[in-house]
Structure 1
Amino acid sequence: MKINYLLVIFLLISTFLHSQISGSSGVYFAKEFSKDQALYKAKEFVMNDLIKVSSNPTKFSIDPLAAANSGQLTSLMYTCEDQNLSGLVLGFFGNRWNESGVNYQAYAFKNLTKENAFEILSKIEKLIDEHSRYLSSDSDTNNLSFEFNDMTFLIYRDVGTKIRVFWNGFDAEWESTAFNRTKRRFERRID
């Protein structure tokens, strides 16, 4: 009987020691991973896809503005005075599965020109203000959705205002704190 208890305890300990731990289970870990990785990977995106690197040296800057607590979305601002380019990059992070069923961390970047960034940030803020009473009247039940370019947005209240952004197979949560920080920092730094 004693051997059975020891066997059960050994199996439980072995299971816990070999269990996989989610990288996004800790709010701070997910946020830091997203912001650090987004900055690192976005540099290549801006260099290759936006400013089109050439044999001539081109100066550009990229600055992470805010990362959502979920770790699914990070906003970054870029400027390239040499080519008169500036805008907002949204970095999307999430888990994907390949044909073999292997889980991996996927990411993609969505570029918003300076004008598009101002437009979408203002539109989201305006919609939240205009429909605040409706969203608050029945939290997590009343929703507001709209499309902008190739992105779909879902706004609802659950403790605070939540914004879900659907794009290119990603479903990223952008809570109001990260959204407001993005809007404030982008508007202050862009010009």
Structure 2
Amino acid sequence: MDGRLALELAGTIRHDGVGGIADDLEGVAGTARWLGEVADRLPPARHPRVDEELHAQVVTLRGAVRSLFARTVAPASPSPADTHLLPPTREALTLLNAAAARQAVVPRLRWEEGDLPTVEFTPGGGCPDTVAALARAAIAFLEGPDRDRLRSCPAPRCARYFVQAHGRQQWCGTSCGNRARAARHYRRHAPART
């Protein structure tokens, strides 16, 4: 499972380019559009269409992922966009693990000649669940090597988490870097208020 899908799920809360926050999962239509954009990286789903229930489940999972991302970047500041709305860490873990458990796995014993027995887990019968697949992507990300490079973008009004590509990278992208530098310039050169 591609752990970067979890980063994209968390990134559905973003700066709108004007001064506010946009939610790509807003309403059933927004969730359907986003799931359609990432469908090639999801297994075939049990949910043939996005309804209110699936929308609510994906939004709840996103909150859990963003909460765990906030914990991951600590002691640095988390994304300020929705910190006050996120579940506490323990609840986020419970939500994530419950969502991941929605897809059954089947243990399969492997025992090659001369080796010790090992167990591999494979998906159980039926179609995988969309929410379970997203939760498993989050688990893969949080236990993988990219976790240590996860950062919260400190640019004004940015809500994104990103994986730091190199040691000097400070922002999620060029536009955020430009916005942060412009804000810093303005603060330095703004007339003093009395």
Question: What's the TM-score once normalised by structure 1's chain length?
Answer: 0.25
Structure showing the higher strand proportion among its residues? 1
Structure showing the higher helix proportion among its residues? 2
Highest relative contact order (Cα 8 Å, sep 6+), 1 or 2? 2
When Rg is computed on C-alpha atoms for both structures, the one with the higher figure is 1
